[in-house]
Amino acid sequence: MDNIKVFADADGIAAAARDYVLAAAQRSIAERGVFNLVLAGGSTPRKLYEQLAQQTADWEKWQFFMGDERYVPLDDERSNQKLANDTLLSALAANIDQVHAVPVDQPTAEQAAMEYEKQIRQYFQDQAGVPEFDLILLGMGSDGHTASLFPGKPALNETGKLVAASEPGVLPPPVYRVTFTLPLINAARRVLFMAAGADKTKAFQAVRQDLTKTPQQATTPAGKVRPAGELLWLVDQAAAG
Ligand code: 6PG
């Protein structure tokens, strides 16, 4: 499949992802004067963020969102926003109105999800329909989850909300999450997955099968991601099996 590229290792993925993100940014800024980027959580994106931080770009035209977040304080080591701040956003000296963190200071994960959805809709000036991000970065867990859409959990089948609260999945950390739902992810102009490591082999094999079926028939959350625009998977040899 031409939307799957296999690299020797995680460094190869990070370099290819860096070039893809920069090209998407250039195109988005040329077309609309802004690059609305959704960052991924977990550990895989760290190398990409570190590489991006060393580049030169029209950073002032970039807007940063988070596709899913752990419902923990922003300075908690488990926070996806902390990873992004520490590896990328602080290096860019991105100013506060460019960074759209999940409002984890809300009293519950549900209220954080509702508030984030409101902020996203307001950012897109409450335009009709589902907001279209220029690029959404995603990872995949060994159970095939993506963002915080876990197999068998209600958030995976959410079609009314753009952002939902999600109970902890089976994979750590066992905390409530706030996550983009499939309707918001699938409205994106581009989605880029990064997956590395032998622990992802089984799930990625399932995704390969899923991509030959309809989203409804897909067996994994990651396999249900079919953006209106481009879908690209960057994996290493270990994950590709
Ligand atoms: C999270 C992530 C999650 C992650 C996968 C892969 O909050 O944990 O959003 O979806 O992308 O679990 O995680 P790794 O990159 O650490 O393997």
Does the structural domain 4-240 have CATH classification 3.40.50.1360? yes
* Alpha helix ranges (H) inside the chain: 10-32, 45-52, 80-84, 90-92, 109-123, 182-185, 201-210, 237-240
Distance CA 134, CA 129 (A): 15
Q: Taking CB atoms and a 6 Å cutoff, what residues make up the pocket around ligand 1?
A: 40-44, 68, 70, 80, 139-141, 145-148
* Domain limits, the chain: 4-240
* Ligand 1 pocket, mutate which of 38, 44, 71 (most atoms under 8 A from CB): 44
Q: DSSP states of 110-169 as a string?
A: HHHHHHHHHHHHHHTTT-SS----SEEEE---TTS-BTTB-TTSGGGG--S-SEEEE---
What pLDDT is stored for residue 154 in this prediction?
96
- Cα 135 to averaged position of ligand 1 atoms, centre (Å): 17
- Per-residue pLDDT tens, the chain, 241 aa: give them: 689 999 999 999 999 999 999 999 999 999 999 999 999 999 999 999 999 999 999 999 999 999 999 999 999 999 999 999 999 999 998 888 999 999 999 999 999 999 999 999 999 997 889 999 999 999 999 999 999 999 999 999 999 999 999 988 888 889 999 999 999 999 999 999 999 999 999 999 999 999 999 999 999 999 999 998 999 999 999 999 9
Contacts 24+ apart (CB under 8 A), 151-159: 151/220, 151/221, 155/179, 155/181, 156/182, 156/221, 156/224, 158/182, 158/183, 159/183
Can you state the angle between helices 10-32 and 45-52, rounded to 10 degrees?
60
pLDDT for 175:
96
Q: What is the pLDDT of residue 52?
A: 97
Distance from residue 3's CA to the centre of ligand 1 (Å): 21
Question: Ligand 1, atom 4: nearest CA belongs to which residue?
Answer: 42
Report how far residue 182's alpha carbon sits from residue 185's, in angstroms, rounded to the nearest whole number: 5
- Predicted local confidence at residue 168, as pLDDT: 87
Q: For residue 123, what are the CA distances in angstroms to 42, 67, 132, 227, 233?
A: 25, 15, 11, 21, 28
Count of H-run helices and E-run strands, the chain: 8, 10
Q: How far is CA 134 from the centre of its chain?
A: 12
Distance CA(234)–CA(51), nearest Å, equals: 16
For residue 130, report the distance from its CA to the centre of ligand 1, in Å. Answer: 24
**Nearest ligand 1 atom, CA 146:** 10
Amino acid at 83: L
| Peptide bond connecting 173 to the previous residue in cis, omega within 30 degrees of 0 | yes
- Of 25, 46, 87, give the one whose Cα is nearest residue 194: 46
